Amino acid sequence: MASDQSFDPRFDPTFQRGFDAMAAGSMAAGPLEAAPVLPIVEGSGRVEQVGRVPVERAVVERAEALFVREPGPSLRGNPWIRVLWMTALLLAAAGAAAQYFAQRITYAPTAPTAAIEYVVPAMLSALSPWLFAVGLATGVATMVIHALRWYPGD
Amino acid sequence: MRPSRIGAFVGGGLLLLGGALLGVSAAEYLSSPQPLDSFSGNVVFTVNGRLVQYPSWAPDAPTVLLVGAGLVVLAVSLILTALAWGPRRDRVY
């Protein structure tokens, strides 16, 4: 015989497959009205009974574990987030400044040394895209971290 | 060793290696000026009382790539460090 818990709780077990009338003598004999369908988990509250059938605590806890998101570690007080924002700003600003000064030196009317005329602008021009791109990517990654770790209580 | 620390070492190493190679390349370029053959186009410099000129110079692409990769790895290790940080009692690495 199937246990009572295998029956659909919304309907009378008398009319469901596998019901044993002798074994279920203690159950109510009269016809049952259709029970309202209740959600197993409503927000954070616990449901102790669905229709007329009590719900075991373990079932409720398993359902809550499935549907209720556990908050992860918060970013509150995380010093590395500040470091990430500062790094992103510094790298992006350094990239923009490197490009600006490379152009300025290249088109300057006078050049005191070959290093300033040729080497410095070439290095700045070569490194500025990396600096700018890594700075932007770091900023975007930091924003994504904020979004993923955001909770209503934060 | 934590992944973020490994990333910091690798990124720092790449950055140092790329910077050193860039410096060596620039020093070699600056130490080999060419004698002045004409005044057309090139900027003229005075080195030890002689008029010299330099051809244009650009850093090697692999060297710049080393520096860029170092920056990327450092940034990623910083992000990993921020993600792994937790309050002292339940810190996760």
Q: Tell me: the pLDDT tens digits for A73-101?
A: 677 788 899 999 999 999 999 999 999 99
pLDDT in tens, B13-71: 999 999 999 999 999 998 888 887 766 667 778 888 888 888 888 999 999 999 999 99
Name the A residues in 111-140 with CB < 8 Å from any B CB: 111, 113-115, 117-119, 122-123, 126-127, 130-131, 134, 137-138
What's the farthest any 2 CA atoms get from each other in chain A? 107
To which H or E segment does residue B23 belong?
helix B3-30
Q: What is the DSSP string of A30-76?
A: SPPPPPPP--S-BTTB---EETTEEPPHHHHHHHHHHHSPPP----T
Q: Which of A123, A132, A145 to mutate to test the interface with B (most CBs of B within 10 A)?
A: A123
Instruction: Round to whole Å and give the CA distance between A32 and A25.
Output: 15
What's the farthest any 2 CA atoms get from each other in chain B? 73
Residue A49 bridge partners (DSSP) = A54
Tell if the CB–CB gap between A81 and B82 is shorter than 8 Å.
yes
Give pTM, 2 decimals: 0.65
The strand ranges marked E within chain B are: 34-35, 44-47, 50-53
